[in-house]
């Protein structure tokens, strides 16, 4: 089931909302950009944080971009879980697909 990524835009600060597939692997969540260096990727790099909305629940996260070495097993797992092979056929280099680890920000309210 797709989730919605909410991330502040770099120039205006307004929220950009994008449907995404969140990969959960060994209890850790990840985002992978199937389409490469998209606006949401650049916005997430700039902001360093986001919110994921799924089934009416919202969870804020710190986003940590993975190094090329770290992202290889994540991209392999992502490709196995989601039917996205065509995007990787178009851009076969794993560095064309930025990946982020999502670290939950605990609510302190």
For domain 3-104, the CATH superfamily is: Electron Transport, Fmn-binding Protein; Chain A (2.30.110.10)
Instruction: List average pLDDT for each run of 10 residues in the chain, which is 109 residues long.
Output: 93 96 95 91 98 95 96 88 69 77 84
Query: CA–CA distance from 80 to each of 3, 15, 53, 93 (Å)?
Result: 18, 30, 23, 16
Q: What is the pLDDT of residue 74?
A: 92
Other beta carbons within 10 angstroms of residue 74's beta carbon come to 21
> What CA–CA distance (Å, rounded) separates 90 from 37?
14
Q: What is the pLDDT of residue 89?
A: 66
Q: What is the pLDDT of residue 92?
A: 60
Q: Kindly list the domain boundaries of the chain, sorted by start residue.
A: 3-104
pTM of the model: 0.88
As given in the structure block, the two tokens for residue 33 are 């950009």
Yes or no: say if 50 and 60 are a contact pair by the CB < 8 Å rule.
yes
Q: What is the pLDDT of residue 35?
A: 85
């Amino acid at each position: 089931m797709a989730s919605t990524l909410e991330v502040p835009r770099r120039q205006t600060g307004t929220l950009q909302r994008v449907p995404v597939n969140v990969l959960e692997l060994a209890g850790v969540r990840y985002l992978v950009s199937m389409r490469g260096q998209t606006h949401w990727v650049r916005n997430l790099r700039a902001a360093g944080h986001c919110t994921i909305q799924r089934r009416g629940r919202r969870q804020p996260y710190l986003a940590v971009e993975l190094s090329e070495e770290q992202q290889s097993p994540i991209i392999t797992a992502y490709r196995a879980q989601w039917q996205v092979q065509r995007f990787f056929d178009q851009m076969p280099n794993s560095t064309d697909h930025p990946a982020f680890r999502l670290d939950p920000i605990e609510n302190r309210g």
